[in-house]
Chains A and B, each alone.
Chain A
């Protein structure tokens, strides 16, 4: 967990007021700690991504929530898939899994 000050030092080109605005708009969900914010690894990575989206890929601030919402939904699905896969791997015998893979490939044409 790092503070807002540390975050702004670690991420080049990042300004504290940007982060505060993103938190206010719920684009970043930092935790409150000792009267300030505390950022975990995923928050730092997310801040970097937002910065890249805005500065490198020219997604403007108005469009950021839409893009991030779509990304969040994509990663939601990926985590769900991963959980389903883990459960499949732990419960379904290998032969049957190989058959499932074959059928899925066949459906993809």
Chain B
């Protein structure tokens, strides 16, 4: 984590010790992992905040960092304490039921409550205690992949909460929310039963330029006035790399070009989709010559881009 500690705390580079302390306290209240149990993002954020504060609250370290002698990552340390690591286990029962234990005793949790819960589902809890082989449980994980990796397919490595890694081959054409099943990568079986599966739910990150519609992909392509009027070749980004395409002369904003087979590649019996390119005419920087030309130029008689508006009014 080599982020800029000033940015992490949201303070200026010349912030006073007091400003740094105030910024740290504000962020620590918000992100302290013991106040946000189970929230990995808050925990990571808190680590970064603590590391940044540790660095910047020490005048000597701060000066060395400002001079570039040390970087932010050298100062990182584990978050302090970790009450949550105990409170989340049965040890936490010691402080269960609020702080005035006696008053809350009536509402304390009892194992029977679980049985009530399952009775409500029409099942029975804890009944299976046989020695018969049992398949291990399936494990569910989420994996976020880049837009183009989801379209073209990619090999990804997933780090599991227990530190194991899983190599996941994301096939081409994955959609957001689809689940992949990795056989035998889930929990171990019991009494000789087979291992469960790992179920991996794919989340596709949005792309800056491409949008997906089923097998097709859409793209807005800026073109100059000259390209729009005279037509000609332009380089179009596609999921498979850049491609030369020809703009027809007299193209206007909103004109749609279709690049057949350049959308999502063929996969799993589905034909390749198309890439739809919508042109956006951009005027961009002009110069005196162009302006001079426009002053002397008259549009063809009767042309009015706002005609429809006037007729409707």
Question: Chain A residues in contact with chain B, CB under 8 A?
Answer: 26-27, 29, 40-43, 45-46, 48-49, 52, 56-58, 65, 68-69, 71-76, 78-80, 82-84, 87, 89-91, 94-95, 97-98, 101
Which of A26, A69, A79, A94 interacts with B138 by CB under 8 Å? A94
Is A94 within 8 A of B196, CB to CB?
yes
Q: Decide: A101 near B93, CB < 8 A? Known: A57-B28, A78-B37, A91-B125.
A: no
Stretch in contact with the other chain, from B82-90, B144-152, B160-168: B82-90
Write out, one digit per residue, whether chain B residues 24-62 have a CB within 8 A of any chain A CB (1) or not (0): 010011001011011000000000000000000000000
The main secondary structure of chain B at its interface with chain A is loop
Q: List, in ascending order, chain B residues with CB within 8 A of A49's CB.
A: 34, 81, 83
9 tightest Cβ-Cβ pairs between the two chains A and B: A94-B138, A42-B86, A48-B81, A75-B87, A49-B83, A45-B83, A42-B91, A69-B99, A57-B29
* A-B Cβ contacts below 8 A, count: 119
Q: A residues within 8 A CB of B81?
A: 45, 48-49, 52
For residue B133, give the distance in angstroms from its CB to the closest CB of chain A: 15
Q: Is the CB of A82 within 8 A of B28?
A: no
Q: Which of B178-215 contact A (CB under 8 A)?
A: 179, 186-187, 196-197, 199
Judge if B126 is at the interface, Cβ distance under 8 Å.
Answer: yes
Provide 14 A-B residue pairs closer than 8 Å at the C-beta atoms, listed in order of the A residue: A42-B83, A52-B34, A52-B81, A58-B25, A68-B99, A72-B95, A75-B96, A76-B96, A76-B98, A84-B117, A91-B125, A97-B137, A97-B140, A98-B138
Give the chain A neighbours of B101 by CB distance below 8 A: 26
**Interface pair A82/B35, CB less than 8 Å apart:** no
**In the complex where A41-B91, A42-B87, A87-B125 touch, is A65 in contact with B28 (Cβ < 8 A)?**
no
Q: Mark B104-121, 1 if CB is under 8 A from A, else 0.
A: 000001000110011000
Closest Cβ of chain B to A96, distance in Å, is 10
Which chain B residues lie closer than 8 Å to A52 at the CB level?
Answer: 32, 34, 80-81
Do A56 and B87 contact each other (CB < 8 Å), given the known contacts A26-B99, A69-B99, A79-B96? no
On chain B, the residues within 8 Å of A78 by CB distance are 37-38, 87-88
Partner of A45, one of B85, B126, B140, B179: B85
Given A26-B99, A94-B137, A98-B179; A79-B88 close (CB under 8 Å): yes
- The answer to whether the Cβ of B295 comes within 8 Å of any Cβ in the partner chain is no
Interface size on B, residues (CB 8 A): 50
List chain A residues, Cβ under 8 A from B118.
Answer: 87
Nearest-CB distance from A35 to chain B (Å)? 21
Q: Which residue of A lies closest to B88 (CB)?
A: A78
- What residues on B are CB-neighbors of A56 within 8 Å? 25, 28
Does B100 make an interface contact (CB < 8 A)?
Answer: yes
Name A70's closest neighbour in chain B (CB-CB).
Answer: B98
Select which of B37, B138, B186 is within 8 A of A75 by beta carbon. Answer: B37
Decide if B242 is an interface residue (CB 8 Å cutoff).
Answer: no
Q: Which of A27, A48, A73, A75 contacts B80 (CB 8 A)?
A: A48
A5 CB to closest chain B CB (Å) equals 20
Contact of B83 among A46, A58, A69 (CB under 8 A): A46
CB atoms of A42 and B99 under 8 A apart: no
> Residue B123 at the A interface, CB < 8 A?
yes
If the complex has contacts A46-B83, A58-B25, A72-B97, are A91 and B32 also in contact, measured as CB distance less than 8 A? no
Nearest residue (CB) in A for B102 is A26
Once the chains bind, are A89 and B92 in contact (CB under 8 Å)?
A: no
Tell me if B306 is interfacial: C-beta within 8 Å of chain A. no
Q: Is the CB of A71 within 8 A of B34?
A: yes
- Residues in A whose Cβ lies below 8 Å from that of B128: 90-91
What are the residues of chain B within 8 A of A45 when measuring CB–CB?
81-83, 85-87
For residue B94, CB closer than 8 A to chain A, the reply is yes
Which listed residue, A26, A46, A57, touches B25 by the CB 8 Å rule? Answer: A57
